[in-house]
Amino acid sequence: MMAYPLTLDRLLERARRWFPTTGIVARQPDGSVRRSDYAAWHQRATALAGGLLQAGLRPGDRVATLLWNQSEHVDAYFGVPLAGGVVHPLNVRLHPAQLAAIVRHAGDRFALVDASLLDLWREIGVPVERVIVCPDAYEALLATSSPTPLPTLEENAAAAMAYTSGTTGEPKGVVYTHRALVLHALATALPDAMNLRAADCVLPLVPMFHANAWGIPYTAAMIGCKLVLPGAAFDAESALQLLAQEQVTFSAGVPVIWDRILDALEQHPGRWRLHPELRVNLGGAPAPEALFHRFDRQGIRVHMGWGMTEMSPVGAINPNFGPGAQGGHGARLRQGRLLPLIEGRAGDSGELEVRGPWVADQYWGGAAPEAWTADGWLRTGDIVAFDAQGLMTIVDRAHDLIRSGGEWISSVALENALLGLPEIQEAAVIAVPDPKWQERPLALIVLRPGAAADPAAWRRSLEQSFAPWQCPDRFLPVAVLPRTPTGKIDKRALRAQFA
C-alpha cells in the first residue's frame, strides 16, 4: 500500500476542494457574526501558516492561543500545524498564575491573543517572542503573508497540545500528533458515533480552548459540515439564537449547559424554532435520566459520550440517540461503546485502562508517569461497568468513591437520583470523614429558583433505590457549587472545604 501520511493538511484540502461554499458562521467576541466558507478558510489558514513561517516559526514550535470559539481559532487549528508548529490553546477560565505556569512549561514561542483577553494575557506575564493580537494585528499578518512553501508534514509529528483541567492535581500537557487527530476524526464521524454527514450543520458548545472542542472542528472539516461557532457566549439565550437561526442539526456540550438551554425552552415555549432533526451529544460528566426525559419532551434526540484530554479526547460514544434505545430502559444513559481501535480493560478495583492510536503514552515533559501501567495502558481513573452490548457505565471516579464501613458507595449514582427530583437543579455527593464508618456521604444541593429544601423527602426518595446506609446522612443546600475551568463540579475543592 502507498505510504500516505495522515496529516491535517489533507483534511483542509479536502474541505476546500469538495465543499468550497459550505458555510462557516462565527460569532466574534464583540458580538458580530462573521460568515465565511471552506474556500476562504483554507486561504486564511494557509496565509496564517505562511505568516508564522515568515516570522521565524520552526518545526515543533508551540503557538499559544488565548481565544474564544471564534474564526481566528479555527484558522489556528489548521494554520499552525500546516506551518509545522503546535497549536496550544490556553484555557481562559484558569487562574493567571496557572496559565503562567502552563505557558512556561509548554515553552510557547508565539501567542495569538484576542483583544478582549489582553488584560488576562498581561496578568499571565510570561514573555513570548511575538504576541499577535486579534483581530487587528492578526488580519495584518494575514494580509502581508506572501506565498510561502509549506513544509512536508510527518504524521507522527506534533500538531496540537492541551493541558488537563487539573481536577486531580496540577494541569499536565498532552501532545497530539497529526495521525492521532485524523484517526480521531474518522472514528468520531462514524454512524454509531457522532453520525455526521456533509448535510449537517454543527454547533460545538464546547470550548475550543480545552481538549480540541472534542475534535469537532477537525471532524467537520473532514466531512464537509457547516460549522457554527458561539464566540465567547455559551449562555442559553445566545446558544438558542444560533441553534434556531442557523438550523443546527448536531450540537455537543456538557450536561449543565444543556440543562440551562432546556430551562429556557420550557420557560418560553415556541420562542425558538429548532431544526426537527436536532441531535445532541452530551459528555464531560454523567447525565441524570431526568435530563433525557426533558430532551424527549422537546423532541431533541440525545446521546452520551465519554473521553479525556489524554484521548484527543473522545474514547466512547453511545449509539442510542432516541428514547427507543436498543437494550431497553436506561441503555442510552450509559457513556457508550469504546470507539473502533480503542481497547479497554478493567484494572484494579474496576478502573478502566485504555490504549489506542489517539491515546497519549506520556505527558509533556514526562510528568506523572504513574498514570500509565507498566505495560503501557492509560489509567483513566474511572470505575466502569460494561453490559452485554459493550455499553459502558461510569460507576464513579476512583477518587470520588466513598468508602463507608468497608463498603463502597457511588457518588455518581446518588447524584443522578437526586437530580431526578424536580426541585433540585444541581447536586454533588462527597465523602466526609466519620469517626465510626471512616467516611460518610454528604449531599450538597443547589435548588431551582423558588423551590424549598426538604431533606427528609429527599432521603425517602433515595431509599426507594438505595440501602439506608448508602444514603447521605446530611443534605446541605448551597447557593453554588464550585467548578473546574472545564465546567465540571470541583469535588476536590468541596472535599477540602467540608473535611
Spell out the domain ranges in the chain: 8-392, 400-498
pLDDT band, residue 328 (cuts 50/70/90): low
pLDDT at 255 over 60: yes
> pLDDT tens across 330-345, in order?
888 899 999 999 999 9
Lowest-pLDDT choice from 266-275, 391-400, 469-478: 391-400
Is the pLDDT assigned to residue 167 strictly greater than 60?
no
pLDDT of residue 168: 54
The residues near 299 (Cβ < 8 Å, ≥ 6 apart) are 276
Q: What is the pLDDT of residue 329?
A: 59
Work out the number of other CB atoms within 10 angstroms of the CB of residue 361.
10
What CATH architecture applies to the domain 400-498? 2-Layer Sandwich (3.30)
CB 151 within 8 A of CB 59: yes
DSSP string across 328-383: STTGGGS-BEEPTT-EEEE-GGGEEEEE-TTS-SS-GGG--GGGB-TTSPEEEEEE
Query: Quick one: pLDDT at residue 94?
Result: 86
Checking phi first, is residue 214 left (phi over 0); if not, alpha (psi -120 to 50) or beta? Answer: left
Residue of 223, 279, 275, 227 whose CA lies nearest to 251: 279
User: Is CATH 3.10.580.10 what the domain over 8-392 is classified as, yes or no?
Assistant: no
The pLDDT value given to residue 327: 66
Residue 188 carries which side chain, given as an amino acid letter?
T
Cell 495522515 sits at which residue? 6
Q: What is the pLDDT of residues 102-113, one digit of tens each?
A: 999 999 999 999
- Report the share of the chain in percent with pLDDT over 90: 82
Mean pLDDT, the chain, rounded, equals 94
CA 139, CA 161: separation in Å to the nearest integer? 24
Q: Is the pLDDT of residue 224 over 60?
A: yes
E strands present in 187-313: 201-204, 226-229, 250-253, 279-282, 301-307
Task: Express as a percent the part of the chain with pLDDT over 70.
Answer: 98
Residue 275 CB-density burial (10 A; 0-12 exposed, 13-18 middle, 19+ buried): middle
pLDDT category at 436 given cuts 50, 70, 90 is: confident
Confidence of residue 394 (pLDDT cuts 50, 70, 90): confident
Report which of 449, 439, 448, 457 is spatially closest to residue 498, judged by C-alpha positions: 439
- The reported pLDDT for the residue numbered 300 is 96
